[in-house]
Amino acid sequence: MRIPIGNFGNAIPQAAPAPRVPGGAGRGAEALQKAASGLVDSIESGVVEEKRLAKEQEENQQALDRAKAANAVLDREIEVDAIGKDIERRVASGEIHYDKAHEQYKNKVFELKSPETTGFDPVTAEKLSKGMKQVDFKGSGNIDGLVAKAKTADFRSQTDGILDKLGKKAGLPGADMEGVAAQIDAMDNIGRQAYGAGWDKRKQDWKDNTWDAQLTQQAMGVRDSLDGIKTLQKEITQGSYADKLDSGRRNSLVAKLDGYRTSLIQRNEAAAARAAREQEMRLKKAEAEFNTFQGMADKGTTLSPEYVDRAVQMTAGTPYQAGIKAIAKQAQETGGIAAQPIRNQEAALTQIDTLIAKQGRTPELDKRREQIANVLHSSQTDVTENGLRAGLERGVITELAPIDISTPQAFAASISKRVSQAETVGQWAGKAVSPLDATEAAGIRSMLDAMPAKQKSQAIATISHSLGTKASVAVSEQLYLQDRPTALAFSAGSDFTTAGRYTSELILKGATAIKDGTVIRDEKKVTGWKASIAAELDDLNIANEAIKTQLKESSYYISAGLASEAGGVASISDIRQAVRLAINGEIIEHNGKKLPLPPGVDEGRFLVRLQDIGASQVLRQAPDGMVRVAGVEMPAADFATSIPAQELLAVGEGRYVVIVKGRPVTDASGKKIIIKVK
């Protein structure tokens, strides 16, 4: 190529000769040369930029293709996952069998649209193809797992169905357990398909549980037979069943049979005890009927045939039917310890202690002692907390007669049968028992608390009269810890003051006055109310210190009641009157001891009646005619003449024990001789 150079001529390009210029023009040429060089650099930079842009565009397109390929793989994953879940759902619902799952999967995947790969570079296209295959392969693997799971579940369902049916078969009485066990062993193939390596343990557990159920059923069948229990226990521990249970199940079943045996023994003992108590009641009724019959016969009057027939019938099956003169005592009960009277329980404990003292301790004796001691402690505790319920729980009585505590009158009308039941329990307990359980006692308190003192005392008198003295005292003891004034009011019962009102009214009025602060109490140690009351009662010769404490408390409340009616102050005479109202009688000095007198008896009358006590009253308590006085035997008749000169100890209203040289006079067995002065 030629380049025009002027003069319209042509020449081959060559380097132009350096111009010759004056010295100052050199700098201009240098500038021109730099400009030319810059133009060349600019052209080269443009070419580089164009290449960079082209490369960047190519890389962007590749990135876009890869993203499309990745999205296509993800879409495939979602579609394949949806196919797998749908097949799983249909297999679970039974719409298709799990054997058809792979076929369904392949058909559904085949229907999926393949992604467009035109224009993708070979690497991206290859990755897309591999990704799609991996997704399909993974989905097929999931179907494998689904099929395996469904197949295992199918085998387990079949296996469990067989086990269930065999279990029901084994549960039938007299089932062929060995035959059932053989059928279970024949299931090893299907069992291992269902449970794999866990089949052997499941099979053994099934056998253990089935044998346990079968033997438990047998235990239930023999629980009412001591011989049956003993035989089955021996078979389980030493006989044909010894290898059928593991040690834990065997010990548990043996313990259950022990429990059945204990329960059966206790039920038999309780039944025997009830039978003995019923026999005792029959004997008592027969005794009463015989005594009445004998008394009427002694009058010399003609007895009606109807009455004779009735007396014979009432004494049927007893010694009294044949007219035996001596009264046979009831044979000692042979029932369970808890059902026996508490005194018998105490005697049983004493017998064990005596045996230990003589022979020494053994584990068996210690265990028996602990059992009896626990029963005795429980009986004593329960009697203290709720005597009536304690008797009911132990079968002393078999029911609680209903009572009405809505009003005092309703209570009085409904309590008689309950009082009789309380007396029966009292015979078992060896002490007076309240005819109310704890809840009923609380109900009585609630009913009474709503009344003013006068009305409340009248209600208490009505209730006490229906209960009788012994039951009233028992109710008082029951209420003592919760409400002392009300308890002491029950102790006073229907006692009257000299003013013709109930003593309990003053007790209740005094308690209210003390609580409200409307009386001026004198608490001086020497001259105060309590000190004055103590001076009257501390030396009182009564056997029960708890009674003395209650007398002091009653006297204190009565003093406050009298004070509330006298301007808030109690005089010495008021306090002395309060003490006598609490005692419901006079206090005298007799042979150096302070004694309470029975109601309505003054000192002169007391001494006269004491002189009139004859030998017959003592002889009734000493059938052999002898008593022990200070440890020495003497005839009861001789002792009777000495009673007025002896020290007396009050043990009840108008009842005294004779004390000689600090020791009570007793019969030959050690039972105290009690004289009654009324």
Enumerate the β-bridge partners of residue 10. Answer: 4
pLDDT digits (tens, 9 = 90+) for 290-323: 656 554 443 333 456 665 566 666 676 677 666 5
Residue 202 and residue 156: Cα distance in Å, rounded?
A: 11
Least confident of 140-149, 178-187, 199-208, 292-301: 292-301
Contact present, 658 and 647 (Cβ < 8 Å): yes
pLDDT digits (tens, 9 = 90+) for 381-440: 888 888 898 888 877 888 999 999 888 899 889 999 999 999 999 998 888 899 998 888
Nearest 5°: phi and psi at 360?
90, 165
pLDDT averaged over the chain?
Answer: 78
pLDDT digits (tens, 9 = 90+) for 531-559: 888 888 888 989 888 888 889 999 999 99
Residue 86, C-beta contacts closer than 8 angstroms, at least 6 positions apart: 108
Contact present, 190 and 155 (Cβ < 8 Å): yes
Residue 374 and residue 370: Cα distance in Å, rounded?
A: 6
What is the SS3 string spanning 533-581? HHHHHCCECECCHHHHHHHHHHHHHHHHHHHHCCCCCCCHHHHHHHHHH
What is the average pLDDT across 150-179?
Answer: 70
pTM: 0.47
Nearest 5°: phi and psi at 84?
-60, -45
| Residue 417 confidence (pLDDT) | 93
| Residue 596 confidence (pLDDT) | 92
| Residue 27 confidence (pLDDT) | 64
Nearest 5°: phi and psi at 230?
-65, -45
Structure tokens at 5: 């150079």
CA neighbor of 455 nearest in space, from 304, 262, 463, 9: 463
Residue 479 and residue 434: Cα distance in Å, rounded?
A: 10
Residue 657 binned pLDDT confidence (cut-offs 50, 70, 90): very high
pLDDT top residue among 202 and 515? 515
Contacts 24+ apart (CB under 8 A), 123-131: 124/62, 124/65, 124/66, 124/69, 125/69, 127/66, 127/69, 128/69, 128/72, 128/73, 131/69, 131/70, 131/72, 131/73, 131/76
Residue 480 and residue 550: Cα distance in Å, rounded?
A: 10
pLDDT digits (tens, 9 = 90+) for 318-343: 776 665 333 223 323 333 567 778 88
Residue 631 and residue 615: Cα distance in Å, rounded?
A: 20
Residue 225 binned pLDDT confidence (cut-offs 50, 70, 90): confident
Indicate the SS3 state at residue 651. strand
Alpha carbon 563 to its chain's center: 49
Q: Hunting for tokens 């009082």 — which residue is that?
A: 419
Residue 133, C-beta contacts closer than 8 angstroms, at least 6 positions apart: none
The DSSP annotation for 184-203 comes to HHTTHHHHHHHHGGGHHHHH
Largest CA distance in the chain: 196
Residue 116 has pLDDT above 50, yes or no: yes
Structure tokens at 15: 């380097």
Enumerate the β-bridge partners of residue 652. Answer: 655
Residue 379 has pLDDT above 70, yes or no: yes
Q: How many helices (H) and strands (E) in the chain? A: 24, 10
Residue 449, C-beta contacts closer than 8 angstroms, at least 6 positions apart: 486
| Residue 152 confidence (pLDDT) | 74
